[in-house]
Amino acid sequence: MKLTAFIEREGDGYVSLCPELDIASQGDSVESARDNLREAVELFFETASPEEVTQRLHDEVFVTQLEVAFG
């Protein structure tokens, strides 16, 4: 299954988010934040009931850019 991972710098580390499941993690580098998120998502799938997976899984997530006026 392919899911989305948003990763952004926060302080000295990186925060990662899977918006389809609303699961987050973190790491000291982009790679470790991604790997830790993958581990958290895999753990969720291993432990969640089918009903919880169905309830939390958003099958349509759109990533796009937004232009706004500033200043």
- The full set of domain ranges for the chain reads 6-56
User: Tokens in use for 22?
Assistant: 């609303």
DSSP H or E run through 25: strand 23-27
Q: How high is the pLDDT of residue 17?
A: 97
The strand pairing partners of 9, in sequence order, are 14
Q: How high is the pLDDT of residue 64?
A: 92
Structure confidence at residue 32 as a pLDDT band (50, 70, 90): very high
Is the pTM higher than 0.85?
yes
- Cα separation, 14 vs 12, in Å, equals 7
Please provide residue 61's backbone torsions phi and psi, each rounded to the nearest 5 degrees: -125, 125
Q: How high is the pLDDT of residue 71?
A: 86
User: Tokens in use for 45?
Assistant: 């799938």
Q: How high is the pLDDT of residue 68?
A: 96
Find the mean pLDDT for residues 7-31. Answer: 97
